[in-house]
Amino acid sequence: MNAVTNPHILVVDDDPDLRDLLATYLGANGFAVASAGDGAAMWVAFNERLPNAIVLDLMLPGEDGLSLTRALRAKSSVPILMLSARGEELDRVIGLEVGADDYLAKPFGPRELLARLRALLRRSHVLEAESAAAAAPPRFGPFALDTLGHRLLRGGQEVALTSADYELLVALVAHPNRVLSRDTLVDMLRGYERDPFDRSIDNRVTRLRRKIEPEPAAPVFIRTVRGEGYLFNPRGGQP
C-alpha cells in the first residue's frame, strides 16, 4: 500500500482568519483542504468528502469539539488533531480520552501543525495496512504475523515480542522492499515528539533481529542500507 498522496484535510475552527491561513499553508504543502466554522458545516463537508484527517477546534459555537469528537468516533476512525486556546493538562487529557489522536495548544506555528498532521497520517497508514492484512496474515520466511492477535508465529508457536518489537515489525512488514529512514520509522512509531539524534530505532532493530534472523550478525530480513535506513525483505535470503 502506498502512502497517502494529496491528503484531504478538514479544518474546523470558528476563526475565519485561522481557517484561511491553514488552508493556504497546507495547500502550499500538498494538501487538499476544506474548512468549516462550526459542527453543522463540519458534517456537511465530512459527508461530501471523507477527509484523511481533521483539525478540530475545541471551543466552537454550538456543539463543541469534544462532543463532535465523540460523534466522529462513533462512525469513523479518521485521525483528529484537536486545537484549543486552553492548554491545561485536563483539557488535553479529556480531548485524548474522547478520541482525539493529538492535541495542539494555541497559539502554534504552522510548521508544527504540519509536522503533527504528517505524523498522524503516517501512523494512520500503518494501522490501515495492519487492518488490511488481518484477513490474510503476512508471511515471511517461517513466520506469520497475526495482526488480529498482535502476535508473531513460527510453525504455529508464538515468538516472544515486546510491544515495541511488534510495532516495529508491523511498520517494516507494511512497507516491504522499501528503504525506510530512521526518521520515518520514528514518525511511524512515536509521532512528532522525538530527539533528532535519537538512536533508539537502531537498538530496536538489533533486538528484533535477534528474534527473527537466522544469523543476526548477517541479517536477511531486515537489511541495513548504509546512510539511508532499513529495508525489509520478506523473501529473506531467497533469490
Cα(43)–Cα(11) distance, rounded to whole angstroms? 12
**pLDDT value, residue 199:** 61
Class of domain 134-232: mainly alpha
Contacts by 32-38 with C-beta closer than 8 Å and gap 24+?
A: 32/6, 32/7, 32/8, 33/8, 33/9, 34/8, 34/9, 34/10, 35/10, 35/11, 36/10, 36/11, 36/12, 37/12, 37/13, 37/61, 38/12, 38/14, 38/62, 38/63
Distance, in Å, from the CA atom of 174 to the CA atom of 176, rounded to the nearest integer, reads 6
Single-letter amino acid, residue 3? A
CATH of 8-126, one of 3.80.30.20, 1.10.472.10, 3.40.50.1970, 3.40.50.2300: 3.40.50.2300
Residue 11 burial (10 A CB sphere; 0-12, 13-18, 19+): buried
| Cβ atoms of 152 and 166 closer than 8 Å | yes
| Full-model pTM | 0.53
Q: Domain-by-domain residue ranges, the chain? A: 8-126, 134-232
pLDDT at 125: 64
Q: What is the pLDDT of residue 12?
A: 96
Question: What per-residue confidence (pLDDT) applies to 88?
Answer: 60
Q: How far apart are CA 45 and CA 7, in angstroms?
A: 15
pLDDT digits (tens, 9 = 90+) for 206-235: 999 999 999 999 999 999 999 899 999 998
Which residues of the chain are modeled with pLDDT < 50?
A: 1-4, 191-197, 239
